[in-house]
Amino acid sequence: MTLATDQFRDIPDRPNLTFCHLNEKITQSADFLAALSNAKRLEILCILHAGEMNVGRLAERVQLSQSALSQHLSKLRAREIVSTRRDGQTIYYSLQSNLAKELLELLDQRCTKL
């Protein structure tokens, strides 16, 4: 099995990405990515990337009940990916996280090349 050993010979013992040395940052990053790792949540974020939307309209667009949508939005809110604004009895959601915006734009660029 020298081949397997030789295969990894040039890989450094420690990652060269700064955040990889900070366990807290790795955990935060994993939590953030977990919040994005659902097709409906990505669809919600793609819609909100264009601008804020009220819950009723958002539920129609993603074809979810308001209850199911609320569960998805709760996960996104908990990680400060989306934010809310109330106008009377209407709640509007918007994309808050700049990192999420950047990731959506990167996915948009990359997925068109698949």
- In tens, the pLDDT along 67-82 reads 999 999 999 999 999 9
The pLDDT assigned to 110 comes to 84
The pLDDT assigned to 3 comes to 47
The pLDDT assigned to 24 comes to 78
CATH architecture of 39-114: Orthogonal Bundle (1.10)
The pLDDT assigned to 106 comes to 92
pLDDT in tens, 11-62: 555 566 666 666 777 888 889 999 999 999 999 999 999 999 999 999 999 9
Mean pLDDT of 106-113: 82
Three-state helix/strand/coil letters over the chain: CHHHHHHCCCCCCCCCCHHHHCHHHHHHHHHHHHHHCCHHHHHHHHHHHCCCEEHHHHHHHHCCCHHHHHHHHHHHHHCCCEEEEEECCEEEEEECCHHHHHHHHHHHHHHCCC
Report pTM: 0.76
Domain ranges of the chain: 39-114
The pLDDT assigned to 1 comes to 43
